[in-house]
Amino acid sequence: MSSEPISPRIVPRESSHCQLARGELFHNYKIIKALGKGRFAKVWSASAEGGEVAIKIYRCGTDNVRYYANEVKILSLLMERCTEDPPHVTKYLNTFAHVSINNNYKPNIHPCITFKCAGARLVDLIKG
């Protein structure tokens, strides 16, 4: 094992999406591929000990943190009140925060939500 310190990935300041690459180790997950990107977050498939998961990584910024908090609150209430996994809702596994450093050496905090991987992407199902 190397005793060299691990330097954080430096990302451009204008990029509020978390920058990842296929095969990269991201916390306890190995990134497989990007599944989709929206206004608030980007979703990646990744492998973990228990199988494949989907990781929704929110963009940094206070508005995005608010959307993340609302989503986690809704998911938590669903899991709390349902005796079985709710139909038509991907199984919510956990949350964590990822910190990257921008090129001005300031931290970007990305809230993350992991889900059980639901299968094919919607766009692939539509294409048939």
Q: Which residue has the higher pLDDT, 119 or 18?
A: 18
CA-based R_g, the chain, Å: 16
Give the residue extent of every domain in the chain. Answer: 11-127
CA distance 54 to 38: 15
Q: Tens digits of per-residue pLDDT, 48-83?
A: 888 899 999 999 887 888 899 999 999 888 888 887
Phi, psi of 126 (to 5 degrees): -65, -40
Q: Is the pLDDT of residue 89 over 90?
A: no
Q: Tens digits of per-residue pLDDT, 94-108?
A: 999 998 887 888 888
Q: Is the pLDDT of residue 1 over 50?
A: no
Tokens describing residue 117: 């991987």
Q: Which residue has the higher pLDDT, 28 or 123?
A: 28
Considering the entire predicted model, what is its pTM?
Answer: 0.77
In Å, how far are 2, 15, 100 from 72, measured between CA atoms?
38, 24, 22
CA distance 115 to 118: 8
- DSSP state, residue 3: -
Q: What is the pLDDT of residue 122?
A: 60
CATH value of 11-127 in 3.40.50.300, 3.40.50.10800, 3.30.200.20, 3.40.50.720: 3.30.200.20
